[in-house]
Structure 1
Amino acid sequence: MIKYNPKLWFRHIFKIYKSDTLTILLPEILVVAFYTWGINFLLNKYFPDFNVKLFKNAFSIHTLVGFVMGLLLVFRTNTAYDRWWEGRKQWGALVNNTRHAAIKIQTLLPESKERTDFIQLIQAFPFTLKNHLRDKRNISELSISEEIKLQLNKFDHLPNGLISLMYQQLSKWKKSKEINEIDILLLDKEIKNFIDILGACERIKNTPIPFSYTLFIKKFIFFYVLTLPFGFIPDFGYWTIAVTTFVFYVFVSIELIA
């Protein structure tokens, strides 16, 4: 995530970032500019008397269609932001839950190897969840003992594996009566929260915006831009190249951001 100062307008406007849509879309923008130039050249050279009135009427159609497409893009952007915000809330809840669990363990139990191992399991959960959501499996980077790494490596689903190891240790403490029933319930609540956060993050990852909806918007923008020069050429001439590429950049950037 890029940290930035929202008050520095000109610095952000004129500085080029790798994630800037202008950088990403530059090849497509050049293709659209060349296509618009080609349409303009052909109409002016070979069809100088084409039906101007017909194409001027097409401009009003583009206005109506552009309004509808704007509504679709707004809906798409809002949906994408809701997904991002839900993910941010879940990650914030994970941070808080990790702190709660670690503090309770340190308070309820005397210092021991088992307590240290349990705290390491708690600390490893956010990193394991991050890698799991990115379809990565890297146990070696976790700050846990080699013994725990060997146990964790037996699980296909590493976040579930960490939670299982937590419950195993909790069960041992319960049987040895090192922790009373009330404290067990308090710790069980924190572990359950880990499961809920895991499920919520997996739901966000595994439920993308429907492919048919995304494909429809892409085709909608493509054909809209494809016909746009015919509506602008009677009024703007070769300036249509700049107008069409700008409209393409705006619409596709919004779709790309979403």
Structure 2
Amino acid sequence: MKGLNGKVAIVTGGGSGIGEAIVLRLAEEGCKVALFDINGAAAEQVAAKASSAAGSVTPFIADITNMDAVEAAVAQVEETLGPIWMLVNNAGWDQITPFLKTTPELWQKIINLNLYGPIHMHAAVCKRMAERNAGRVINVASDAGRVGTSHEAVYSACKGGTIAFGKSIARELARNNVLVNSVCPGPTDTPAMAAVAGTGEEAQKWKDSMARGIPLRRMGKADDYAGIIAFLGSDDADYITGQTISVSGGLTMHG
């Protein structure tokens, strides 16, 4: 991709799954990647995998639900690696449960990570980008935020909110050349999915059933998203902002 070599990129939730794939792809493109994750051991393992890449990966233990922690981590990134060019808000979590069986405590946990987390990151990073009149933000949302998903009501609300928030920030910061877009994965076979669906024969039947509803006849893989995110952070996407792009094997087709 044009213009990524040597650029500093933050990826939240980069210690596994989609986040790990994004981190490794950006490192291949020559980025200096700041990997934010609450799991320090996982972050170190991903950084080791990128040791031969053109760029580099530096782990940071960061709790994005805490604004003070975010401010401190972002300041450390700029001090250590340089000006931040690209922010990828990828971290997320859910517990699949019918809404009427959930509790306010669970709602708050989901909201803190999936909605407040990206808002905190925008606040800390975008003010620096705006001062420099340069930057790219890619929010990893979800098609759940566009069409809703049974048993993921609060998560869907958070992802829909993140999409709308990103569009609003894209409008506010366009004059500062800070471009903000969202990528919406469809159902994806990741460790997070396995934690929800389990393993074994029944879990495989459930995955197979889901795949039959996808026009491309398979669930997504973590690597399916890294390319579009690298593109949106590159010079090739200089005229794209405020957009929401589904990457779902055709499961959702929006005009």
- Tell me which interval the TM-score lies in, with the shorter structure as reference length: under 0.3
TM-score normalised according to structure 2 size? 0.23
Higher helix share goes to which structure? 1
Q: Which of structures 1 and 2 has the larger relative contact order (alpha carbons within 8 angstroms, sep 6+)?
A: 1
Higher strand share goes to which structure? 2
